[in-house]
Amino acid sequence: MTVCQGRIAAHCPHPGRTVVDGDGLWAAPGLVDIHVHGAAGHDFGDPDPAAWLRILDTHQRAGTTTVLATLASDTPDRMRAATETAAALITTGQAPGLAGVHWEGPALAPAMAGAHAPAHLRQSGEVLEELSSPPAALRMVTLAPELPGAHALTAHLTAHHVVVSAGHSAAGPADLAAAQARGLSHVAHLWSGQSALTRPRLHRLPGLLEAALASDGLSAEVIADGQHLPGELLRIAWRCLGADRICLISDATAGAELRAGARFATGASTGIVHPDGYATTVDETAFCGATAPLAEGLRRMWKATGAPVEDVITMATATPARTAGLYPRKGSLHLGADGDLVLLDPCLRVRAVLASGRWVLPLPGGAHAGP
């Protein structure tokens, strides 16, 4: 495989080539994380570009070369300012791994808000006004499709080529179907912040979870960090949706790489890191995102499901890239794709990372000057 001037190429005519011997390793596209909030004590909700670059660097070194910077529910000014930070970084070319912004909220169901600050949830109509002219950096919005005004917001966003995702929602099958008819195409983190099967009297009523698993065409996210979901649920997701519809995500927050006991911000909420490697809200009533990079979810999904390595890699590369409208420039090794590459050992641990044609994690002793 050849990478030339930051792209996958058939050959490279330029002198000074570097040759890497990856014998015994899997070569895969750089991982694509469409739902990630932060790392190393920093949150994408902070509009400081230095914080964003630190987050991106942390995830790049762990194998994630493309991200949608995910903003948790916050004030309109804070969410707007953070989105403007993304636009500036993308326009100036300072952050080639930044593919855009994902607003997770604020039009979410209060009963399903999880770690989102209740004070910063807003009605769909308010969000529609805020996004009357969606910024170019905005690629995805997660909302509760059953809320009043959600259909108008969904239709507006999809008309402007923004991917709409159902999440933090008490929706049922009819709500989801109506939203799909208006362009909704994705479902946020299965089993997290969504309605599930109920039996108010005799009859069983499916929730958003069952509707998503039984759906045709919808893609859906899975957090395979070893904390959010047991292996049995990961296997159900894989059997129902397959590699071409499952997006592995990290949902990593600023708590990633922090020591146990550390507190951090995610949007307007505060989380705390626990000794066993997970994070919760301070009152411990909900997970507050995750603390592991996407590569950890890749390994755990493989171990839990027994899926072929190619399928698990697809869930962390091509499928999220397609979902976000980035494929094949991202999530593939096709000619002309961005020069993003990870080398994985037989246990699917990341051994080297190439991002935009630059080694951000070189293979120790694995490179020498080419002829």
Mean pLDDT, contiguous 10-residue spans, the chain (371 residues)? 92 78 94 98 98 98 98 98 98 97 98 96 98 98 98 98 98 98 98 96 96 97 97 98 98 97 95 95 95 98 98 98 98 97 98 96 69 46
Residue 339 forms part of a structural domain: no
- For residue 340, being part of any structural domain is answered with no
Domain annotation covers residue 60:
yes
Q: What does the pLDDT read at residue 132?
A: 98
d(CA 176, CA 182): 10
Pairing of strands 64-72, 98-104: parallel
* 8, part of any domain: no
| pLDDT tens-place string over residues 26-67 | 999 999 999 999 999 999 999 999 999 999 999 999 999 999
* The pLDDT value given to residue 21: 85
User: Which domain does 235 fall in, by range?
Assistant: 31-330
| Residue 35 to residue 150: CA distance in whole angstroms | 21
> What pTM does this model have?
0.97
Residue pair 353/65 in contact (Cβ under 8 Å)? The answer is yes
Indicate the SS3 state at residue 186.
strand
What is the tally of structural domains in the chain?
1
Whether residue 363 is contained in a domain is answered as no
The answer to the question of residue 315 being in a domain is yes
> What confidence score (pLDDT) does residue 18 get?
77
The answer to whether residue 15 sits within a structural domain is no
308 contacts: CB under 8 Å, gap ≥ 6: none
In this structure, is residue 365 part of a structural domain? no
The CATH number given to whatever domain includes residue 46 is 3.20.20.140
pLDDT at 368: 46
